[in-house]
Structure 1
């Protein structure tokens, strides 16, 4: 792209060498390894997996290293690699109702069946720099995980508790006509209007910062939402796949996910009792901020379902979906660094001509 620049390919090769040198850092420090990144920067790894649309902690950690910590560059690397992988089929729907939580909190009820479970969180830490050492007693993580499995069935979801009292809008049955087979946004073009399932796909791989800003905007009046964090769960779920000719699901393994149910603005009329509405978010790894933002924006985008006026950006499906994808956004912004000599010279000539005519008329 910059071959026309003096030096040509040699200049590009030197730029790559300089990039590698700067990325290596000072020689007195040992080089980072992907295992260290994956193990100690799990939240960052989760973001790259979500926005890269690929669950692979090791690959995401490698992408972060290669991108020198540039999240959007790492996401681009993961998505590019993803396109080279064979597609064998689709897994069975994940049963998050049986998600054994490592963390489970609710802002709607103090006393929940099964109790609140704080787990690993920054919510109660002091925002001060701390020593890298571990303070306090160590916890037997394996025993804790076994306890989670044992108590998973004793922790019904808040949305289900409200639904049992008909206080929450119902969810269509998976086999019903109201739940058609969703399209695959990674293989099919985006067509508006989208189904909710398609929107959730797009939001799950959308830029976290963009979704956070949209979610914040709805809380400040630019969107009809009044959210309560019904429940946030972090844990591992089993993924199953039905192989051709086999006829029954086979477990492939477990993946870490974060699920968020938002309890939102209630609705009702003369024919329908007052019920809370839903916002939903499900993402890879430990990513509570992303799941919460996704669930708030999901509810905002359901304005048409409830006959609400679309008056804010977060309620505009095309605006949200077209601008949430950070790979597309990055490409469109960063292409401005490429040569635009001819275009600029044309506009420069036009401006000079207009100014010359103005001087003549004056």
Structure 2
């Protein structure tokens, strides 16, 4: 029998108050400032901005603080806030070849044109806990390395001069906007890339790892990984030309993948591509691997049944906000549904018992 729930509003208010108390923690411990989160938890901030589709480190830091460090909840907060913002224009395509690189490496060319810049990376750390970080003390002065100011050409451009890698066709058509229109499959590559950028890092990483273990027959090299700031330009109708309105930090990855050629195309390398807000190189590399796996049809390759080749599976299940909403709704009241299910089970058991008695 269904019984109406009473007192729900008061209970919810009390739950919110308790949540605020838990979020603050011990009042004897200094409260985290947004500046501390933004500057010292920058990689978490970058993930929230990327998967929330909003570049604002301060708001991302606020969301992380409000969500008690739950990054998916913080991403949800950022996406919800984003829907309230007015849209006043469209920026020009970013020129990542003009990036002022803090980090720029290649796994395909030792002497990469423009040089290798290791930059800030965990790649060469020992993954041992540094207990010095647990000690309170005076701030340590760290020498600041200046980013490259000159333009750094993309490495794939040098492969392209010999025709060794596929050319990327240029298009003046505006790309579809996933934040304004719901995703539908089959999707064009620009829409797939948007979906992967917003996708959950862990899910995209898992899909990428599956391709490396043979579930797409797609061996990849990191042609180039670069991190740095890029100018954002916007054309103003009053002026008739584009002006710089700010800059964003990006991580860009281009993979070089094998391709045996086809009846119309000679053997050459193909590309995978990843672009993410902030320093998010694991996500950018994973995105590039999955992007390449999803291109099997346009490249005339066989679908070997790999999960990473299934566009509908990858794109619809990579969004952690969609997944969270569907997953967590089952903890909300389903009293009526369950009562109907339990009545059905009782009826089936009664019928089964009657049949058993009839055969004895």
Q: Same fold (TM over 0.5)?
A: yes
1:313 corresponds to which residue?
307
In 1, the alpha carbon distance for the partners of 2:36 and 2:246 equals: 23
- 1:156 corresponds to: 153
The alignment partner of 1:29 has SS state of coil
Q: What residue number does 2:248 align with?
A: 255
Cα shift at 1:173 = 2.4
SS at structure 2 position matched to 1:304:
coil
1:94 aligns to what?
94
Alignment of 1:94-243 (within 5 A): 94-130=94-130, 131-132=132-133, 138-141=142-145, 144-145=146-147, 148-150=148-150, 152=151, 155-175=152-172, 180-243=173-236
| Shift in Å, 1:245 | 2.8
Q: Distance in 2 between matches of 1:342 and 1:27?
A: 43
Q: Deviations over 1:80-120 (max 9, x none)?
A: 10000000111000001111210011111111112211100
CA distance in 2, matches of 1:121, 1:290: 14
Query: Structure 1: where are the runs of 5+ without partners?
Result: none
Q: How many pairs were matched up?
A: 349
Q: 1 CA distance for matches of 2:26 and 2:198?
A: 35
Equivalent residue for 1:272? 265
* Residue-by-residue CA offset, 1:236-268 (whole Å, 9 max, x unaligned): 000001122321001011110000001112231
**Structure 1 Cα separation of the partners of residues 159 and 264 of structure 2:** 19
Distance 2:183 2:141 in 1: 51
RMSD of aligned residue pairs (Cα, Å): 1.8
Q: Cα offset for 1:6?
A: 4.5
Q: CA contact under 8 A between 1:224 and 1:265: conserved in structure 2?
A: no
- CA pair 167-135 structure 1, distance change in 2 beyond 3 A: farther
The answer as to 2:72 corresponding to 1:55 is: no
Q: Tell me if the contact between 1:267 and 1:277 (Cα under 8 Å) persists in the aligned partners.
A: no
- Counterpart residue number, 1:349: 343
Taking structure 2 as the reference length, the TM-score comes to 0.93
| Residue 316 of structure 1: how far off its partner (Å) | 1.1
Query: Which of the residues 266, 274, 279 maps onto 1:281?
Result: 274
Give the equivalent residue in structure 2 for 1:8.
Answer: 8
Kindly tell me: are residues 270 and 355 of structure 1, through their superposed partners in 2, closer, same or farther at Cα, counting changes over 3 Å? closer
* Whole-angstrom CA distance in 2 between matches of 1:322 and 1:137: 46
**Residue 137 of structure 1, CA deviation:** 7.6
- Going from structure 1 to structure 2, the CA distance change for 1:267 and 1:247 (only over 3 Å counts) comes to farther
Q: Secondary structure at the match of 2:301?
A: coil
Contact 2:262 2:300 in 1 (8 A): no
